[in-house]
């Protein structure tokens, strides 16, 4: 068994403030003996200015990722950078929304670029992520020391096919760093997360943004760890901070053995 931490943040457009808060949570996670600490989507910047996003975006070998590699090595803890804005080579107008998994020795173990972009226009909510972001094109599962980790980001949660693909590639723990809107999170956050856990018989770890960011932009929060049976192990309260929980792969293996859903699939009839 191993313990992981999920950081709930109320990120703003103040990069330095967000970075200092993240650093403090890594220190706390290390002191608490956690094996891995995970951050939410765009945890170092939440703002509405495209120019600012382009300004802070970097390549994977830039100062931002290097800093967190140093943190991982210094505190001897794995870090999931839930997502940052990554520069797109050859483009000055678009970015990737990128999640980076760093091992406790400071090595980059996995890089995932958000595949599904949140473009919605409803009476209560409008968001066009594709005006700034290019979609990724590869699913990612990492053979990590705590288990086989699948990576996703926020809006990906609404696409069960992605999670089924991660499970088919061996994922045992799937991270869903998010900045879920308050308007949709109130109704959909827990049902979708529990469904992904149950149908894939996997741990779902979802560190989230919380609270007011700017204008009418609020995030739902409720960072949560859910086990393969769909049971909530731990859930954050209504404030920034870190919540932890235990991953038990023996329990996961037992559930998959007793109810071998993957072996019961008959995709020739519905794919």
In tens, the pLDDT along 55-72 reads 889 999 999 999 999 999
Tens digits of per-residue pLDDT, 156-178?
999 999 999 999 999 999 999 99
Q: Which domains does the chain have, with CATH numbers?
A: 2-269 (3.60.110.10)
pLDDT at 53: 87
Work out the mean pLDDT of the chain and round it to a whole number: 96
Q: Which of 90-94, 151-155, 242-246, 248-252 has the lowest mean pLDDT?
A: 90-94
Q: Mean pLDDT over residues 93-117, rounded?
A: 97
This model's pTM is above 0.95: yes
Q: What is the pLDDT of residues 7-38, one digit of tens each?
A: 999 999 999 999 999 999 999 999 999 999 99
Confidence of residue 91 (pLDDT cuts 50, 70, 90): confident
Question: Does pLDDT of 271 surpass 80?
Answer: no
pLDDT at 36: 98
Does residue 93 carry a pLDDT above 90? no
pLDDT of 197:
98
Catalytic hit among 53, 114, 118, 172? 114
pLDDT at 226 over 90: yes
pLDDT of 86 reads 97
Give 176-193 pLDDT, tens digit per residue.
999 999 999 999 999 999
pLDDT on residue 170: 98
Active site residue 172: no
Residue 199 is among the residues annotated as catalytic for this protein: no
Catalytic site residue from 41, 53, 118, 148: 41
Q: Can 50 be counted among the known catalytic residues?
A: no
**Cβ atoms 195, 174 nearer than 8 A:** no
pLDDT score for 199: 97
Q: Which of 86, 148, 154, 172 is catalytic?
A: 154
Report the share of the chain in percent with pLDDT over 70.
Answer: 100
């Amino acid at each position: 068994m191993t313990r992981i931490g999920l950081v709930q943040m109320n990120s703003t457009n103040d990069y330095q403030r967000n970075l200092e808060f993240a650093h403090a949570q890594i220190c706390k996670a290390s002191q608490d003996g956690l094996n891995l600490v995970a951050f939410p989507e765009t945890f170092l910047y939440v703002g509405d200015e495209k120019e600012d996003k382009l300004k802070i975006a970097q390549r994977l070998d830039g100062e931002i990722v290097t800093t967190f590699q140093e943190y991982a090595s210094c505190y001897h803890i794995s870090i999931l950078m839930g997502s940052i804005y990554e520069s797109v080579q050859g483009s000055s107008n678009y970015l990737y929304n990128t999640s980076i998994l760093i091992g406790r020795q400071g090595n980059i173990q996995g890089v995932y670029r958000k595949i599904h972009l949140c473009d919605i226009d409803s009476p209560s909510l409008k968001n066009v992520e594709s005006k700034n972001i290019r979609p990724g094109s590869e699913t990612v599962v990492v053979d990590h020391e705590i288990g086989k980790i699948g990576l996703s980001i926020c809006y990906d949660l609404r696409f069960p096919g992605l999670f089924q693909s991660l499970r088919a590639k061996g994922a045992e723990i799937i991270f869903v760093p998010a900045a879920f809107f308050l308007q949709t999170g109130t109704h959909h956050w827990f049902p979708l997360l529990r469904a992904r856990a149950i149908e894939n018989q996997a741990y779902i770890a979802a560190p989230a943004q919380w609270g007011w960011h700017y204008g009418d932009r609020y995030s739902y929060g409720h960072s949560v760890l859910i086990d393969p049976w769909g049971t909530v192990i731990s859930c954050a309260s209504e404030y920034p901070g870190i919540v932890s929980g235990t991953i038990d792969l023996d329990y996961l293996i037992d559930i998959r053995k007793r109810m071998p859903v993957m072996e019961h699939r008959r995709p020739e009839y519905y794919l």
